[in-house]
Structure 1
């Protein structure tokens, strides 16, 4: 008997924007945030994050982040 197991979705959000200063995580323009996308796992989100971070490497105040959405949706799951 063959079981079909579907990979569990652990959603991750990749977004970024220009920071007010290098000392914190406050954005200059919340309306201008770059929502890159939502990804089904960390590895896929990391690829997207690296791509966007590399494109903006010349702007020290531009930062991209990966948010572990699955932890917000179900804090019991690691």
Structure 2
């Protein structure tokens, strides 16, 4: 089972993401929702999840994540996540 990183990406992590080669797609999903408890990742209402979108690289996914996270900063239970879909589609062999 692949784990979702629930922490906000740091500027260093953002800068460390490799640039996608021309034509390469490193798909990322950005989604969020209200949590039952801010200390755990358990959504209050799965039907109300906000699927922000799927992006071709980490940089654009990060920009979408940041905009949504900042827009909902007043709600302590609201969290947005970035899922590295490319890692699920082509898991490393070995």
TM-score when normalising by structure 2: 0.74
Can you give the 5+ residue segments of structure 2 that lack an aligned partner in the other structure? 1-20
Aligned to 2:34: 18
- Number of residue pairs the alignment of both structures matches: 73
TM-aligned CA deviation for residue 7 of structure 1: 3.0
Could you say which residue in structure 1 is the equivalent of 2:78? 62
Q: Distance in 2 between matches of 1:43 and 1:6?
A: 15
Q: State the partner residue of 1:44.
A: 60
| CA deviations over 1:6-61 (Å, ceiling 9, x no partner) | 33100000000000001210000000000000000000000000000000000010
1:53 matched to 2:69? The reply is yes
Looking at CA atoms only, which structure, 1 or 2, has the larger radius of gyration?
Answer: 1
Distance 1:75 1:52 in 2: 28
Supply the RMSD in Å over aligned alpha carbons: 1.4
Please give the alpha-carbon distance, in whole angstroms, between the structure 2 residues aligned to 1:46 and 1:6.
Answer: 19
2-structure distance, mates of 1:18, 1:62: 4
Higher share in strand? 1
